[in-house]
Amino acid sequence: MRQLPGTLPDIRKPEEQLKASYQAAQGRPIVERGIATERAIGHRLTRDYSLEAAVSGQRSVYVDTVKGDNTMDLTFRPYRKTTKSRARPLTEEDYRQRGGLIQTIEGPARFAIGDYLGKDDKGEFPIRRVKVERDYRQITPPDAEGWADYMPFDVREAAQVSEPFELNGQHGKTGDYIVRGSDSRWIVDRELFEASYRPV
């Protein structure tokens, strides 16, 4: 697998290399601590490694690395999740027992204490606490183990991928979806996506 065209250097490189690469590619000054921004040009997703004050009109996002065997032109469309999610808060004990990782069907995913553990017919997955607080409404009281039902109310964007791929170290199958919210992306199994998401 190779990194998709249009992706500038990895944010994990040393800061000075990042600045030099950005300046060479963009010709814009760097004045503050680097952040990652994204923009869509046609159907191709590209990424800039810029600074808060360097480029206007772009929003900060988490850095994502998507890898595939072929050039991918991903078309993201708006969807709303129409099914409830079962989840509970993740505790210090969870962190000790699991080593800060949830084994999802796409591979291990990191979590922090206070994030939420979600579960469905395919397994378990972490949900960031800020996302639950911002984008979900709790619809049942928690049970003795802390599990409750939550209904998401945000509009998300999703693109189906036509080949096996990797997103931030997790693995998607042909036909799976990349779903993106306001500040993150994740993989959703095709069967689960088509059963629980509807176009807006």
Which range, of 10-19, 91-100, 162-171, averages the lowest pLDDT?
10-19
Rounded to the nearest 10 degrees, how much is the dihedral formed by the CA atoms of 126, 128, 134, 135?
A: -30
What distance, in Å, lies between the first and last C-alpha atoms of the chain? 33
Cα distances from 3 to residues 40, 165, 196, in angstroms, run 17, 10, 30
- Contact (Cβ atoms closer than 8 angstroms) between residue 113 and residue 54: no
Question: What's the CA gap between 94 and 106, in Å, rounded?
Answer: 20
78-100 residue pLDDT tens? 999 999 999 999 999 999 999 99
pTM of the complete model beyond 0.85: no
Average pLDDT value for residue range 128-138: 95
Q: Which residue has the higher pLDDT, 68 or 181?
A: 181
Average pLDDT value for residue range 18-24: 49
pLDDT of residue 34: 35
Q: Where are the domains of the chain?
A: 2-63, 78-199
